[in-house]
Amino acid sequence: MTTESTPKSGRQGITLMQLADMFPDEESARTWFEDRIWPDGRVCPRCGSDKTVESKHPKMPYWCSEGRHYFSVKTGTVMEASKLPLRKWVYAIYLHLTSLKGVSSHKLSRDIGIGQESAWFMLQRIREAFDNNDGEQFGGPVEVDESYFGGREANKHQSKRLKQGGGTYGKVAVVAAKDRPTKRVKARVIKSADKATLHGFVEDTVARGAQLFTDEWPAYRGIRMRHTAVKHSDGQYVQGDAHTQGIESFWSMFKRGYVGTYHQMSPKHLHRYVREFAGRHNLRPLDTIEQMGELAKGMRGKRITYAALTA
């Protein structure tokens, strides 16, 4: 397949025209999803049985002989119960991944010809497919930092102005770590940037013996690992290998998406956007079609309903 010009990173992209050639119809989209959701062959998403056959059901093309039920490639994934064609799911994944700051529900609704509410629900489902790196530990050196989202500018808290450049009153805290060797990021919404919470995140995320770099926020003090803090309040941002510039670049991209694309992220759904932007960052080394494939794989075993999202 001919691809667009290779960017400096060496990644290969796909143009919209190439995507249309790859997915000319619903059957091509169905085959692509099946190859990624069932890489070792078709299995029943309900019971895991491989004793399945094709059926003549108009919407459920497969039948499980053991569990005795119909299913499709959408069953048991974030796409379950969706009436949207698989080809539109392919295009939505592509448009979302190739927009560096994400795509808004209003734009997606126009681009693929669906209602804005359907586009919003679709994007929330796609966010669920990003890998949140549960259980992964970084070998380091690792940079850790926290940032804040939401709230009103008028409600600034003086004690945090030097650290964040803004107040934290009414805002939601997010902590993130970046592993320098692998460049992978892990992030989490937290209730408070206190000692117990930040120490817990570091212990979950950073392998013992790894070098840890943070700023001088007092909650990081006393952590049981090799730890160097950079004093941003004294104008110190780099001290040899000690800095947090890598994780700050992640915050920069996240905040550009916050301001430029989504405009606001409700506290209720902030963790979904955190998952998205960490996942985006970690998929960056892959070609576009590989990124799309990873998202398709990530749809397995996950289900999210509109009622749950809007409750």
pLDDT of residue 277: 92
pLDDT of residue 263: 58
Residue 281 belongs to a domain:
no
Q: What is the CA radius of gyration of the chain?
A: 22
CATH (domain of 157):
3.30.420
Average pLDDT, whole number, for the chain? 87
pLDDT of residue 55: 93
Q: Mean pLDDT over residues 154-171, rounded?
A: 48
Question: Do the Cβ atoms of 126 and 279 come closer than 8 Å?
Answer: no
Of residues 155, 177, 147, the one with CA closest to residue 258: 147
Most confident of 39-43, 56-60, 254-258: 39-43
Same domain, 64 and 88: yes
Residue 6 belongs to a domain:
no
Same domain, 103 and 220: no
Same domain, 232 and 208: yes
Residue 172 belongs to a domain:
yes
pLDDT of residue 122: 97
Same domain, 118 and 24: yes
Same domain, 263 and 235: yes
In the chain, what percentage of residues exceed pLDDT 70?
A: 86
pLDDT of residue 265: 72
Residue 215 belongs to a domain:
yes
pLDDT of residue 154: 38
Residue 278 belongs to a domain:
no
Residue 79 belongs to a domain:
yes
For residue 11, the one-letter residue type is R
pTM score of the predicted model: 0.85
Same domain, 126 and 48: yes
pLDDT of residue 244: 86
Same domain, 184 and 78: no
Same domain, 163 and 83: no
Residue 90 belongs to a domain:
yes
pLDDT of residue 262: 62
**Binning pLDDT at 50, 70 and 90, where does residue 2 land?**
very low
pLDDT of residue 107: 95
106-115, 120-129, 142-151, 287-296: range with lowest mean pLDDT? 142-151
Residues sharing a CB contact under 8 Å with residue 141, sequence separation 6 or more, in sequence order: 179, 180, 181, 210, 211, 212, 213, 241
**Binning pLDDT at 50, 70 and 90, where does residue 29 land?**
very high
Beta strands in the chain (DSSP E): 52-54, 62-64, 69-71, 142-149, 172-179, 185-190, 211-215, 226-230
Same domain, 258 and 294: no
Expressed as residue numbers, the domain containing 187 is 142-267
Same domain, 232 and 165: yes
pLDDT tens across 107-133, in order?
Answer: 999 999 999 999 999 999 999 999 877
User: Quick check: 157 pLDDT over 70?
Assistant: no
Residue 273 belongs to a domain:
no
Same domain, 155 and 239: yes
pLDDT of residue 233: 62
Question: Do the Cβ atoms of 249 and 243 come closer than 8 Å?
Answer: no
Q: Mean pLDDT over residues 95-106, rounded?
A: 91
Q: How many domains is the chain built from?
A: 2
Q: Residue 62 corresponds to which tokens in the numbers above?
A: 């497969």
Same domain, 122 and 168: no
